[in-house]
Amino acid sequence: MEKSPEAFRTISEVGGDLDVPQHVLRFWETKFTQIKPMKRAGGRRYYRPTDVDLLRGIRHLLYDEGYTIRGVQKLLREHGAGFAIEAGQTGAVPAISAPESVEVAEQATGNDGGSPDAAPIVQLAGGLGDDERALLTRAFKDLEHARELIAGTKSVKPF
């Protein structure tokens, strides 16, 4: 006889459903404060359906998406448990919206008009002053020079 979807699950049932050993579930409880199974006398754990959904999302982020424990901790801290729950339900990482003060422009820069593999430019709201722009331009040129040196397409010359 199968339990109803709202029924609490034991650690062995959750481990079997998620294909994760019980000791890993206990370890995750120490690493992710959002996992809070109900404990009865004797320390027996009972997982609520939302706990199981959260564990499914954490498992997906760690095993399928390749996140580290620290990376998942950061995602949970910044985006909440709903983020991991959605990842577990959809099988994909939910889109993360950028803060309102940051705008990402999908255009490349450089003297050659840009390259297709160039990273997007992040523009802060309010723009940059002339001094900041000059410093960033110099840093970008230094990085381009370093990339050329590493690629072996340019000889070493002093700045």
Query: Which residue stretches of the chain have pLDDT < 70?
Result: 1, 96-129, 153-159
Please state the domain extents for the chain.
9-90, 102-151
User: Which amino acid would we find at residue 40?
Assistant: R
CB 54 within 8 A of CB 44: no
CATH code for the structural domain at 9-90: 1.10.1660.10
* Rounded-to-integer distance, Cα 80 and Cα 59, Å: 16
Tell me what pLDDT residue 144 has: 83
Does the pTM surpass 0.75? The reply is no
Phi, psi of 121 (to 5 degrees): -90, 135
For the chain, the straight-line distance linking the first and the last C-alpha, in angstroms and rounded, comes to: 75
**What pLDDT does residue 154 have?**
59
Alpha-carbon span 30 to 24, nearest angstrom: 10
